[in-house]
Amino acid sequence: MANWYSSSCECCGDEMRVCEDWSNPPRICKTCRDRKAAEWYDVYCASCGTAIKAHRDWDHPPKYCKPCKEHNEAKWYEVHCSSCGTTIQAHRDWDHPPKLCKPCKHRKEAEWYDVRCTDCGSTIHANRNWDAPPKLCKSCKQVRQAKMYTVTCKICTASIPASRDWDKPPRYCKDCREKCAPRSIPCSQCGKSMEFATGFQLKCKEYGWELPTRCQECKHDALLLKGAIGALRDEFKFALEATIEQRGIIFTDKVAVVRSKKTGEIVAEVKMTEKGILSTTRVAVATRKDDGAVIGETHDGSRGIFFPKRTADTYQGGDRTHRTEAVQRGLLFPRTSIETTRSDGSRVAKVVERQKGMFFPKRTIEPRSTND
């Protein structure tokens, strides 16, 4: 005969009858068991559809059954943040696994800001780490690129990008411009510094011109000096040659030293000076070496009315004795020479320049007459 005993319900405390032969005696009464069973309901696995027990007190009821959950968990693996090295969970079904952890991603996103396209005003994303943020959106950039074409550098024939919107396309490439940066060169005669701008140097290279070796003052004085030296052929009846010297340290004087071509003896000097008070003019004054007497003064002059031509007129005692000018001779192959004539029109000499010496060449001026 079975032995029965009394036990209390763990939930409500009511008395229950329990048999000693039961292997699993109840811990709660039937009423409590029915009430607890009513708190459970069925949900279905989102992957395979299997029924899953869920409790009404759970805030997050399960979405997957245990086999499907284990299967999904097997698809997860770990990657490391490319910025800080932190471990990140990644899924094998993702086409683009994450490269940054969440804090690093927020930090990177904070580095981006908006700028406006200079052409259409649309928004462009720019990064604070960029040295040169974009000024054009993608569409406007493509429009500008469609207007671009290439021109050839006039000096080195390199290709230069140009736009059809530009009124004047570039003539010279960047390398040629850098090579022709502004610089100063001393005048070969007086030593004064001559400043050459980039544009002037580029033009000289384009047309194959050599850079000037003499300053404007020396170029202006050249005809006056040649005129004064040419007139000296009537004073000295032998072959002459002259060299330009610069005398002085602070206030330098330009002097043409005239020598006998045969003996080398100094016979005269021609010095450039300025005359006048309000309006000064350059004058070449020739003096005899032995007594310092003034032989003549050469001033700027002109010949012609409609197309005046510059001349160098030599005066002695207030009267014009000689005139020096550039004369072009020859029909098929015309050549220009500097010639000195007397006041009656007879030619005295042709004044020529030449380099004398091999290792240390020196420029000389020679008034050559038909009698030499």
Lowest mean pLDDT among 282-296, 306-320, 325-339: 325-339
Gyration radius of the chain over CA positions: 53
- Residue 250 pLDDT grade (very low, low, confident, very high; cuts 50, 70, 90): low
| Whether residue 310 is found in the same domain as residue 322 | yes
Residue that is last in its domain, among 17, 45, 72: 72
For 164-203, how does the pLDDT look when each residue is reduced to its tens digit (9 = 90+)?
A: 999 999 999 999 999 999 999 988 877 788 999 999 999 9
Tokens of 92: 């094998």
pTM > 0.75: yes or no = no
| Whether residue 54 is found in the same domain as residue 10 | yes
Tokens of 52: 């899953």
| Whether residue 350 is found in the same domain as residue 253 | yes
| Whether residue 271 is found in the same domain as residue 364 | yes
Q: Please indicate, yes or no, if residue 11 is contained in any of the structural domains.
A: yes
Q: Counting every residue, how long is the chain?
A: 372
Q: Can you give the pLDDT at residue 277?
A: 78
Q: Please indicate, yes or no, if residue 256 is contained in any of the structural domains.
A: yes
| Whether residue 89 is found in the same domain as residue 231 | no
| Whether residue 238 is found in the same domain as residue 355 | yes
| Whether residue 325 is found in the same domain as residue 282 | yes
| Whether residue 250 is found in the same domain as residue 302 | yes
| Whether residue 259 is found in the same domain as residue 327 | yes
- Residue 276 pLDDT grade (very low, low, confident, very high; cuts 50, 70, 90): confident
Q: Please indicate, yes or no, if residue 99 is contained in any of the structural domains.
A: yes
| Whether residue 185 is found in the same domain as residue 238 | no
Pairing of strands 193-196, 183-186: antiparallel
Q: Please indicate, yes or no, if residue 135 is contained in any of the structural domains.
A: no
| Whether residue 259 is found in the same domain as residue 347 | yes
Q: Please indicate, yes or no, if residue 148 is contained in any of the structural domains.
A: no
* pLDDT for 270 beyond 80: yes
38/158 Cα distance (integer angstroms): 89
Q: Please indicate, yes or no, if residue 125 is contained in any of the structural domains.
A: no
Residue that is last in its domain, among 49, 72, 95: 72
Q: Please indicate, yes or no, if residue 127 is contained in any of the structural domains.
A: no
163/160 Cα distance (integer angstroms): 10
Q: Which domain holds residue 193?
A: 159-207
**Three-state secondary structure readout of the chain:** CCCEEEEECCCCCCEEEEECCCCCCCCCCHHHHHHHHHCEEEEECCCCCCEEEEECCCCCCCCCCHHHHHHHHHCEEEEECCCCCCEEEEECCCCCCCCCCHHHHHHHHHCEEEEECCCCCCEEEEECCCCCCCCCCHHHHHHHHHHEEEEECCCCCCEEEEECCCCCCCCCCHHHHHHCCCEEEECCCCCCEEEECHHHHHHHHHHCCCCCCCCHHHHHHHHHHHHHHHHHHHCCCCCEEEEEEEECCCCCEEEEEEEECCCCCEEEEEEEEEECCCCCEEEEEEEECCCCCEEEEEEEEEECCCCCEEEEEEEECCEEEEEEEEEEECCCCCEEEEEEEECCCCEEEEEEEEEECCCCCEEEEEEECCCC
Tokens of 348: 């005295």
- Residue 245 pLDDT grade (very low, low, confident, very high; cuts 50, 70, 90): confident
Q: Can you give the pLDDT at residue 4?
A: 84
| Whether residue 188 is found in the same domain as residue 220 | no
Q: Please indicate, yes or no, if residue 91 is contained in any of the structural domains.
A: yes
185/196 Cα distance (integer angstroms): 8
State the chain's mean pLDDT as an integer.
89
For 21-58, how does the pLDDT look when each residue is reduced to its tens digit (9 = 90+)?
A: 888 888 889 889 888 888 999 999 999 999 999 999 99
Residue that is last in its domain, among 72, 88, 119: 72
Please give the tally of structural domains in the chain: 4
